[in-house]
Structure 1
Amino acid sequence: MSGHGFHVHGPHDHELEHAAQGHGGSHTNSIAMFTALIATVGALFGYMGGATQSNAGLYKNNAALKKTEASNQWNYYQAKSNKQNLSELAIELAPATKKDFYTDEIKRYKGEKAEIKLAAEKLEAEAKAWDQQSDEQIHQHHRWAQATTVLQVAIAMAAIALLSKRKWLEYVMYGAGAVGLVIGGLAAAHI
């Protein structure tokens, strides 16, 4: 540009001015819009993938805690069984005056063992439920990760399509975006 009111610009300047005025090629604009939308959806999918992975770890930890509690109950059950066995042995060895005492002890240990067994089985069931929830969350995490990866491929294809101006790459880009959205839908539906 000269200082005397005479204006000269090259073809590149003309394209930039044209695009700045909103007259860019619809081809370029549609790819840019697609990229922005897919990047936004991909960010949401990435967040969901991280959340489900965290949940899976938390649920697996809860399962481990319940398994430990169940194990403690089973150890307590075994201790009561040992005391019951000793009382049964004592009946055979004790004088007749002590046999009623050991008979009552055996009944008491049997009753306590029944309660302990119920508590242990309940804890085992809770551990199994937490494990199942963890497995479901990790499966869902994999779905979110797959969807995010396919959307990232779609974004990469969009950049290559813009640079190379190859129409077939646009089809790949749109196809990958559609596949990513379908996989994300499967993740949202817990499939």
Structure 2
Amino acid sequence: MSGGGFHVHGPHDHELEHAAQHEPKGMAGQLAVITAILATVGALFAYMGGATQANAGLYKNDAAIKKTEAANKWAYFQSKSSKQNLAEIALDLAPSEEQKAKYKAKIERYETEKNEIKKEAEALEKESADFDHKSEEQLHQHHRWAQATTALQVSIAVAAIALLTRRRWMEWATLVVGGVGIAVGIAAWLHL
């Protein structure tokens, strides 16, 4: 980080810069290129992981909103049922045919209204379930992106160790772990 006229960086950064300046060919040069590629791909994977996590949260929020709307519809349905029940009691107690006809009409109206409300509530519950399903899919994909990003970060750390120890097998380990990270990233991209 630059600021106030001086530059502070970690030992890993210093070693990579030193190796790149003094030994641009051979193992250090290879590791510098590999590390740059892995860091770039890792940044893309991290972005995708963040995007899928945000989408999962948005879908979960939409599911909760639809569930609340459905609960409100069911409460409205229940109030219509209560009114219908009262009208049915009133029908049984009504002394005249004129009053009985009035209550029969109310009962029929409440039944029609309840059926419409029930359809709306069930549709809202289906929308809520669909949003929950989308949220779960996005969360699964987020986990894949996070796994891929983590593998690439480990690969970059192994590259630093390879550079510091000058062990050729560590360079190969960098490639293997990086390959695993890229494979998991491809799985995330394919929604597997």
TM category (shorter chain) comes to: 0.7 to 0.9
Partner of 1:119: 120
Q: Which runs of no fewer than 5 residues in structure 2 stay unpaired?
A: 1-16
Partner of 1:49: 49
Partner of 1:79: 79
Q: Distance in 1 between matches of 2:79 and 2:128?
A: 23
Q: Distance in 2 between matches of 1:152 and 1:103?
A: 73
Partner of 2:139: 138
Partner of 1:169: 170
Return the offset for 1:28.
Answer: 1.3
Q: Distance in 1 between matches of 2:134 and 2:24?
A: 50
Give the letter aligned to residue 66 of structure 1. K
Aligned to 1:145, what secondary structure does the other structure show?
helix
Is 1:105 equivalent to 2:106 in the alignment?
Answer: yes
Partner of 1:8: none
Q: Deviations over 1:42-88 (max 9, x none)?
A: 01100110111011001000000000000000000000000000000
Partner of 1:69: 69
- Total equivalences in the alignment: 174
Return the offset for 1:34.
Answer: 0.3
Give the letter aligned to residue 140 of structure 2. H
Return the offset for 1:117.
Answer: 0.4
Return the offset for 1:171.
Answer: 1.5
Q: Distance in 2 between matches of 1:26 and 1:172?
A: 17
Return the offset for 1:26.
Answer: 2.3
Is 1:180 equivalent to 2:181 in the alignment?
Answer: yes
Return the offset for 1:24.
Answer: 2.9
Q: Deviations over 1:87-107 (max 9, x none)?
A: 000011111230000000000
Return the offset for 1:189.
Answer: 0.6
Return the offset for 1:20.
Answer: 5.1
Q: Distance in 1 between matches of 2:70 and 2:24?
A: 67
Larger radius of gyration: 1
Q: Distance in 1 between matches of 2:50 and 2:28?
A: 33
Partner of 2:36: 36
Q: Which runs of structure 1 show a deviation greater than 2 angstroms over 4 or more consecutive aligned residues?
A: 23-26
Q: Give the CA RMSD over aligned residues.
A: 1.7
Return the offset for 1:167.
Answer: 1.5
Aligned to 1:54, what secondary structure does the other structure show?
helix
Return the offset for 1:27.
Answer: 1.7
Identity of aligned residues (%): 56
Q: Distance in 1 between matches of 2:26 and 2:69?
A: 64
Q: Distance in 1 between matches of 2:89 and 2:169?
A: 86
Question: Normalising by the residue count of structure 2, what TM-score does the alignment of the two structures yield?
Answer: 0.87
Give the letter aligned to residue 49 of structure 1. G
Aligned to 2:191, what secondary structure does the other structure show?
coil
Question: Normalising by the residue count of structure 1, what TM-score does the alignment of the two structures yield?
Answer: 0.88
